[in-house]
Structure formats: C-alpha cells, structure tokens
C-alpha cells in the first residue's frame, strides 16, 4: 500500500517536469520553423540567393545514423518496460554512441563545406544558414545526449521503476523530436541546394 502511494506521489511530482519538456519542444519547433522561414524570406525564391552548393554526403550519412539511434532508443524503452535492465543499458549505450557519431559526422560535414569554400561568414547568407541550422541542431543533440546519459545513470542506480521509466520517456520524447527536426532540416536543405 505504501509503495503504491509513493508511486502515485512520484507520478504527480514528475508531471510538471514533463509539461515543461513539452513546452521546450514546442519552443524549439517554433525556433526551427522561424529559421527556415528566415531562409525562405532571405532567398525570396531567387536562384541568385540560393545555397548554390551540393550538400556534403556526410549529412546523408548522419541522417541514417540518427534514424538508427531512434530505433535503439525505442528498444531501450521497451526493455525498460519489460524490466530487462541489461538490454536497456545496452541499447542506451548504443544510442549514446550513435548520437556522438552523429555529432562527429556533422562536424566532418562542416569541414567538407570549408574545403568547398563555404564559410559561415560569406557574401551569400544562404550558405551561412547551413551552419546555423546544423549548429542549432547540434546544441539540441548535446541536450539529448545529456538526457540519454541521465536515463543511463538511472538504469544503473536502484531507483524506483516509475522514475526509471520517466527518465526513459523524457529522453525518448526529446531524442525522437530532434530526430524528426533533423530529417526536416535535411530535406529542407536538399530541396534548396543548388
């Protein structure tokens, strides 16, 4: 009886945190919508103000990596619900490694852009938007990795299952969101290249 009361209390205490996370996701969505709108307004449909480059293949590879990371995080969540903590940890570690790989591939993509002569500061601000889009997304990746490591640390500690599941849900919702945002940004950039 006491354990059930404690679980109910934990759920009530965690609800405001979940609401705050949804507010953050909504604000982030609006932020990326504003960035893409700014690009559209700047370019005005003019080819002279378009990106005028072919995107590096690194962005395509990083897209595959982040999609696979969403699958591994889903597997970690499912393992947590089934009380399979070893599998939960394994899939969380895989998700973290894939998240770090995504980050590294994006930075490599920037180096390819620099080799192509595309710099953050240049006369064609459309090309600068590539750095802004990917840079802001990488900040979200860092936050997402923080949530994944938080869920991972909870899986190693002897915390109540309701808190373990909350950490997993928190990390999953945010990570899937940044996955969707990246796919949106990547498709947007593909449609506006050259």
- Domains in the chain with CATH codes: 2-191 (1.20.120.80)
- Provide the pLDDT for residue 4: 54
- Check if the beta carbon of residue 153 is closer than 8 Å to that of residue 142: no
Helix axes 161-191, 2-43, angle to 10 degrees: 10
Which of 53, 71, 63 is CA-nearest to residue 187?
A: 63
Q: How do residues 102-117 score in pLDDT, each as one tens digit? A: 999 999 999 999 999 8
CA 45, chain centre distance (Å): 29
Does position 67 have pLDDT exceeding 80, yes or no? Answer: yes
- Check if the beta carbon of residue 34 is closer than 8 Å to that of residue 169: no
Q: How do residues 104-161 score in pLDDT, each as one tens digit? A: 999 999 999 999 988 888 887 888 889 999 999 999 999 999 999 999 999 998 888 8
DSSP 85-103: HHHHHHHHHHHHHHHHHHH
Computed over every residue of the chain, the mean pLDDT equals 89
- Provide the pLDDT for residue 42: 84
Q: How do residues 70-114 score in pLDDT, each as one tens digit? A: 999 999 999 999 999 999 999 999 999 999 999 999 999 999 999
Which of 169, 170, 164, 173 is CA-nearest to residue 83?
A: 164
């Amino acid at each position: 009886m006491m354990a059930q009361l404690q679980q109910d209390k934990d759920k009530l205490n965690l609800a405001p945190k979940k609401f705050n996370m949804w507010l953050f996701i909504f604000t982030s969505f609006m932020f990326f919508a504003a960035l893409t709108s700014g690009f559209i307004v700047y370019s005005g449909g003019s080819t002279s103000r378009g990106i005028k480059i072919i995107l590096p293949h690194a962005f395509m590879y990083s897209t595959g990596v982040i999609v696979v990371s969403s699958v591994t995080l889903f597997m970690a969540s499912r393992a947590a619900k089934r009380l399979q903590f070893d599998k939960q940890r394994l899939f969380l570690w895989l998700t973290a490694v894939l998240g770090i790989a995504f980050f590294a591939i994006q930075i490599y993509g920037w180096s390819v852009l620099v080799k192509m002569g595309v710099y953050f500061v240049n006369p064609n601000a459309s090309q600068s938007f590539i750095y802004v889009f990917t840079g802001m997304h990488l900040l979200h990746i860092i936050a997402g990795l923080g949530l994944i490591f938080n869920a991972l640390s909870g899986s190693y500690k002897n915390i109540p299952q309701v808190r373990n599941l909350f950490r997993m849900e928190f990390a999953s919702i945010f990570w899937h969101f940044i996955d969707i945002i990246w796919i949106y940004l990547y498709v947007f950039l593909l449609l506006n290249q050259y």
